[in-house]
Structure formats: C-alpha cells, structure tokens
Amino acid sequence: MTRTYVITGSASGIGAATAAILRDRGERVIGIDLRDADIEADLSTPEGRADAAARAMELAETIDAVIACAGISAPIPKTISVNYFGVTELLTALLPALARSQAPRAAVVSSMASLQPNSPDMVEAALAGDEPKALEIAAALAAQGPQVGYLVYPSSKRALSRWVRRESITPAWAGAGIPLNAVAPGTVVTPMTAGLLSTPEGQAMVDAAVPMPLNDHQSPESIAYLLIWLTSVENTHLAGQVIYDDGGADATLRGDDIWSWADSR
C-alpha cells in the first residue's frame, strides 16, 4: 500500500535524495522547503512551522511518516531555530495526522556534531521549549565571531538528539505506536559541505573533527536508505535511538565503552 511521507529539506542534499528514492518506489512524498517544494515554508519561525504543518494536513489527512532533514550549519542564531524548533514543533504539530496512520513513523537528522563541544545553556533552553532564550544565547555566541558562533550548530544537534530520546518514550510517541528516532551522519557530500570540502585546508579541518575510517565521506543516499528503513512498516521496535551512520566517527571519538552509565549504581 502506498505510504504518504512528509519530508523537510526536500529540495537539496539528504532530503532530496530521500524524496527521490521514495518517489521512485511509488510512495507519495510531500516535500517542505524554502523553495522548489510542494510546500514552500520557512521552518525558522513559529508561523512558518504552523503554516507548513497546516498545509501538509490539508494535502493529506493521514500522514504515514515524517522525515525531518531541513537544517543549516551557519554560525548564526537562526541555526537553533531551524535545526531544533523547526524539527520538534513541526513533528509535534503533525502528530494528529500521524495518529491516523496504520503504521506511523518519524525520523530526524541530527549529526555527529552532537558529540562536539556545545553550549549547555542553549541546549537546556531549547529542551525547555524557550526559543527566545535559546536565540539570545546563540546571538551572544555569534557576536564573538564564527569560531564561537559555530557552537550553535552542535548545540542544536545535541538538543535534538536529547529531544528524540526524551520524547520517543512518551504517550504521544511510543504510547501512540510511533517509533521516533534520529540519524547522526558524519561528513555527507551535499551543498552544505561543498564549500568546506572544496579546499585541502577545509577538508583537513573537517576530517580532523570527523574521522571516518570506513569509506570516507558519504553520499546523501547513505543516510536516505537508513531514514527510509526507520520510517518503514518493518521498524516496529526501534525507538529513541540516535544512530551514528558516520563511517565510524562516533566509535573513533567515543571509544568502546559508552555503556557505563549504570556501573556506579
């Protein structure tokens, strides 16, 4: 049976690859993006998110899956709005349409950058749903230049990964039979990384931060296929996971023991 997918960031990179594969398979895709999409909307604002959700639910009463790919990596305050609130508020707004599906699913794109240094205050403000405060903290960091401003990106992804774990097990998601998970890519060759990867210096910087012993930089399709499985009927029990689909970057950086959380209890 044909499934209806809502995909954000459908005009480029990972979102475009995911939409193309699903359309090839005969599935229905409703793309959301700033332009070149079924729904043109700006997910950086509360109004834009509400508008996008309302229009998606006008186009489809029942939504079988939401795949949230839209994101930016610029060292500017807007990054927390698009990457965190643009995902969490949209997903929450679409819950009624997901609930009408026989097999509802949701997956978001976080990043291995969620493992990098970040602003704990911004992460907490985001998780508390306080967008004005998160933006204020982001603005103060961005004012110190791009190096400090970059902290907005890992903060947005750390908050998103934590939101997925926290929300996935609640009555709204697990209780409603909706698996909610995240994928954390390494370095994906898309317009987002094209500039950085175009010079040897940029490439060396990226590779030092994101070591990928397996198969080097990855294609958008390498993430798309995992997002598609996570939101397929076959995924019945995988919930609250942040899957590092990153050529081994997470294992390289965090090592072999990430399970010691209960050892001292």
Per DSSP, which regions of 121-172 are E strands? none
Distance in angstroms (rounded) separating the CA atoms of residues 166 and 160: 10
153 catalytic per annotation: yes
Binding segment (CB under 6 A) for ligand NAD, from list 18-26, 41-49, 58-66, 123-131: 41-49
Token readout for 165 is 């774990």
The reply to whether 6 sits near ligand NAD by the rule CB under 6 A is no
Packing angle, helices 13-24 and 220-230, rounded to 10: 60
Decide: 118 and 158 in contact? Cβ < 8 Å: yes
- Which residue, 42 or 101, is less far from ligand NAD as judged by CB? 42
Q: Closest approach of Cβ 21 to ligand NAD, in Å?
A: 14
Distance in angstroms (rounded) separating the CA atoms of residues 45 and 32: 14
Decide: 53 and 95 in contact? Cβ < 8 Å: no
Decide: 154 and 114 in contact? Cβ < 8 Å: yes
Q: Which of 84, 153, 225, 244 is catalytic?
A: 153
Q: Closest approach of Cβ 36 to ligand NAD, in Å?
A: 8
Task: Please pick, from the candidates 42, 51, 64, 167, the single residue that binds ligand NAD as defined by CB under 6 A.
Answer: 42
- Which residue, 101 or 161, is less far from ligand NAD as judged by CB? 161
Per DSSP, which regions of 92-203 are E strands? 105-109, 180-185
Decide: 62 and 101 in contact? Cβ < 8 Å: yes
Distance in angstroms (rounded) separating the CA atoms of residues 223 and 97: 25
Closest C-alpha among 257, 113, 235 to residue 186: 113
Q: Closest approach of Cβ 71 to ligand NAD, in Å?
A: 2
Residue numbers 220-259 binding ligand NAD by CB under 6 A: 220
Decide: 62 and 103 in contact? Cβ < 8 Å: no
Distance in angstroms (rounded) separating the CA atoms of residues 16 and 37: 10
By rule CB under 6 A, what string of x and - marks binding of each residue 157-196 to ligand NAD?
A: ----------------------------x-xx-xxxx---
By rule CB under 6 A, what string of x and - marks binding of each residue 87-126 to ligand NAD?
A: ----------------------x-x---------------
Binding segment (CB under 6 A) for ligand NAD, from list 40-48, 56-64, 144-152, 173-181: 40-48
Task: Please pick, from the candidates 6, 7, 12, 162, the single residue that binds ligand NAD as defined by CB under 6 A.
Answer: 12
What residue ranges bind ligand NAD (CB under 6 A)? Answer: 9, 11-15, 33-34, 42-44, 69-73, 82-83, 109, 111, 185, 187-188, 190-193, 220
